[in-house]
Structure 1
Amino acid sequence: MEETVQVLEKVPIINFSHLHHDSVTKQIHEACRNFGFFHVMNHGISDSVIEEALNVNSNFFGLPMAMKEEFNSDDIQKPVRFSRLQIGCHENEMLSRDFLKLYAHPLHQFVNLWPSNPLNYREKMGIYATEVRKLGIELFGAIMESLNLSPTYLKQIFEQGMQVIGINSYPPCLGSSVKTGIAEHTDHSIITILLQSSPGLHIMDRSDGTWKSIRKIKGSLEVIVGDHLETISNGLYKSVLHRAIPSSNNCTRLTIANLHSLGMDDIVEPAAKLVDEEHPKGYRGSSLRDYLGHLSSKDATPFNHKIKI
C-alpha cells in the first residue's frame, strides 16, 4: 500500500433532506451504479450523537487489554466479539487493527451483551445505533425506488433484519513491518453506513480500475453498496471494492460501520422485476448465515463470486 493514491473527485453527495425528490432518486441510481458509494449529508443524526459514539469507542479501545479480553473470540457468529487482527495482504505485508463487532437489532436483545466499560458505552452506542437504523431504513427505500422498484419492496423484511456494527481502531504506524489497515474487500450487507474519525477510506474507481482515496466531508456519513444489494439489483449495482490505508500521522483512526442486511436466514435473490430474457437471473439465493458459513470454511474465494450464476 505504498503507491501514490489520488483523491476521487466529484464523489456523489446525497442531500438526505431531499431524499424522495426525483432528482435525488436519479443521483442515488447513478451513485450506486457508477461508484457503489456515496456521501449522505443532512442525515438528521446530530453532531453530539456522532461525537459521543466515537468517544465511547475510543475509550473502549484505550482500555487495558485485560479488560477487553472477555469479548475476545474466534467464533465469528458470536453477537459481541473483540479481536486484534493481523492479516496478510500482499508482498508479505501484514495489516493490523483492533476490531469490535456488535449485533444491534433488535437492540433490547443484544445491548446487555455489549461492553459495560466505559460506563456510558451501552447508552451512547445504543442511541447511535438506533439513529443509524432509522437512516438505513429510509435510504433502503430510496435505493429500491432508484431501481424502479416500489419504495416498500422488502421494507418490512429489511426493518426486521440484521444490523451488525463493526468498529475498527487503527493506531498510528510506528515504523514496524506490520501496518495498520484493512485489506481490499466488499461488504456482505445490503448497505453499509460508515462513520470515520479521519480520512483513510479507499475505493476502487471503476472508470480506470485504480485505487482512489475518499475525502472526509464534515458532517457526512458514507454509504457503501454491499454484496446483497448487488444480488437484489441483479448486478445493476455492484458492491464496491474498498480498503483502509495505514495511518500516516500520530492519531488513531476510528471507524464505525453499520452493516444492514435482511434476517440471518432470509434468502436474498434478484428482484423478479429486474429479471427478464435480456437480463437473466445472475445470482443464486443466499442468506447471511450462508455467508458466515463461508467465512468459517476459510475458502479464499470471495462469497459474491460463489453466488454468481
Structure 2
Amino acid sequence: MEVERVQAIATLSLNTGSIPAEFIRPEKEQPAMTTFRGPVPDIPTIDLSHPDQDRLVEMISKASQEWGLFQLVNHGIPCDLLQKLHSVGKHFFELPQEEKEKYAKPPQGFEGYGTMLQKDLYGKKCWNDHLFHLIWPPSKINYQFWPENPPSYRDVNEEYAKYVREVGDKVFRCLSLGLGLEENAMKEAVGGEELQYMLKINYYPPCPRPDLALGVSPHTDCSTLTILVPNEVPGLQVLHDERWIDAKYIPNALIVHIGDQIQV
C-alpha cells in the first residue's frame, strides 16, 4: 500500500505555490500571526567546559527552571562529526522513495522511516517526514532501521552515540547537583547505563507557504532530555513568557530541552 509522504506533497506544492488545506494551521497557530517580533530575548547559552563547576551547575539549573531549555557550546562533540551527522541524514532523505521505504515503520512500531499521518485536534497535519531509531544501549539497537546508504551512516551514528552520551551524563550531573542530590542520582533514576537514547531526524521539505504551516505542532517532549543538533536553516521556536520566539542558530551548538519525565 502506498503511503503518503510530506516530501512528495512538497514537490507538488512547490509547483503550484500552495499547500493542501490539511496543512494550513488555525490562525492562532500560524507562524506569520504568532511569532514574536521583538525585541526577542536570547535563549540561555552555556559553555559546558566552564572551569567553575559550581557556576556551571547554577547556570544549567537556572536555565532549566526559567526556560526549560538552553544552548550548549564547547560540549565536546567534534564539529566535523556534527557535520557528518547532518550529511548522512540529508543523504538518506535524498534517496529514491523506493529505497527509503525499505526502512518504513511497521504497523504499531515507533522505529523507522515515517510521516505523522494522523491529524491533530484541529484536523491538521505537520510538514515533516522523519527517521527514528535507537542508538543506545547496544542490547536495544535494531539495525534493521539503520540505513545502509550512505555506507558511513552506521559508523557516524555509533560515534555520535558515544559523544552525546557524555554530554547527557554531564547535564544529568549538573541537574542532580542543582537539585541538591548526589551527582549520579538523576541518571540512575532514569535508567543509568541502560538509559535509552533515541535518534530522530526530522526532515522538513521546502514549503511554499511557511507562514501557514508548521513542521511540528506545539508540544512538549515526553523524554527526560532532548538534545537537538540544529542546522543553519531557521525554524525552531520556543514558547517563553507566553510568546513564540525564534531560536537563534549558533554554529555547532546543541539545544538541550528538559523533557516531561524530568518535569514530573
TM-score by length of 2: 0.78
In structure 1, what is the Cα distance between the partners aligned to 2:170 and 2:107?
32
Aligned to 1:170, which of 172, 195, 204?
204
Matched, 1:23 2:55: yes
CA RMSD of aligned residues (A): 2.4
Is the 1:37–1:224 Cα contact (8 Å) retained in structure 2? yes
Q: Secondary structure at the match of 2:46?
A: strand
Q: What stretches of structure 1 of length at least 5 have no aligned partner? A: 232-309
Q: 1:183 to 1:70 in 2, by over 3 A?
A: same
- The structure whose RCO (Cα within 8 Å, separation 6+) is larger is 2
In structure 2, what is the Cα distance between the partners aligned to 1:118 and 1:224?
29
In structure 2, what is the Cα distance between the partners aligned to 1:203 and 1:84?
23
Matched, 1:96 2:132: no
In structure 2, what is the Cα distance between the partners aligned to 1:177 and 1:18?
39
Is the 2:42–2:248 Cα contact (8 Å) retained in structure 1? no
How do 1:119-198 and structure 2 match up within 5 A?
A: 119-156=151-188, 157-175=191-209, 179=213, 181-197=215-231, 198=233
The one-letter code of the counterpart of 2:155 is E
Q: Give the total of aligned pairs.
A: 228
Is the 2:105–2:112 Cα contact (8 Å) retained in structure 1? yes
In structure 2, what is the Cα distance between the partners aligned to 1:175 and 1:139?
37
Which residue is equivalent to 1:83?
Answer: 114
In structure 2, what is the Cα distance between the partners aligned to 1:135 and 1:148?
20
In structure 1, what is the Cα distance between the partners aligned to 2:139 and 2:61?
34
How do 1:20-59 and structure 2 match up within 5 A?
A: 21-59=53-91
Which residue is equivalent to 1:3?
Answer: 33
**How big is each residue's C-alpha offset from its partner over 1:114-169, in whole Å with a ceiling of 9 and x where there is no partner?**
11111111111211122111111111111111111111114343322111111100
Q: 1:50 to 1:177 in 2, by over 3 A?
A: closer
| Identity across matched positions, percent | 28
Is the 2:82–2:252 Cα contact (8 Å) retained in structure 1? no
Q: Secondary structure at the match of 1:196?
A: coil
In structure 2, what is the Cα distance between the partners aligned to 1:163 and 1:38?
19
Is the 2:69–2:257 Cα contact (8 Å) retained in structure 1? yes
Q: 1:133 to 1:4 in 2, by over 3 A?
A: same
Aligned to 1:14, which of 24, 46, 51?
46
CA offset at residue 85 of structure 1? Answer: 2.8
How do 1:192-231 and structure 2 match up within 5 A?
A: 192-197=226-231, 198-205=233-240, 207=241, 209-231=242-264
Q: What stretches of structure 2 of length at least 5 have no aligned partner? A: 1-29
Is the 2:172–2:186 Cα contact (8 Å) retained in structure 1? no
In structure 2, what is the Cα distance between the partners aligned to 1:158 and 1:20?
26
Q: Per residue, is there more strand in 1 or in 2?
A: 1
Is the 1:137–1:159 Cα contact (8 Å) retained in structure 2? no
Q: Secondary structure at the match of 1:182?
A: coil
TM-score by length of 1: 0.68
CA offset at residue 91 of structure 1? Answer: 6.2
Q: Per residue, is there more helix in 1 or in 2?
A: 2
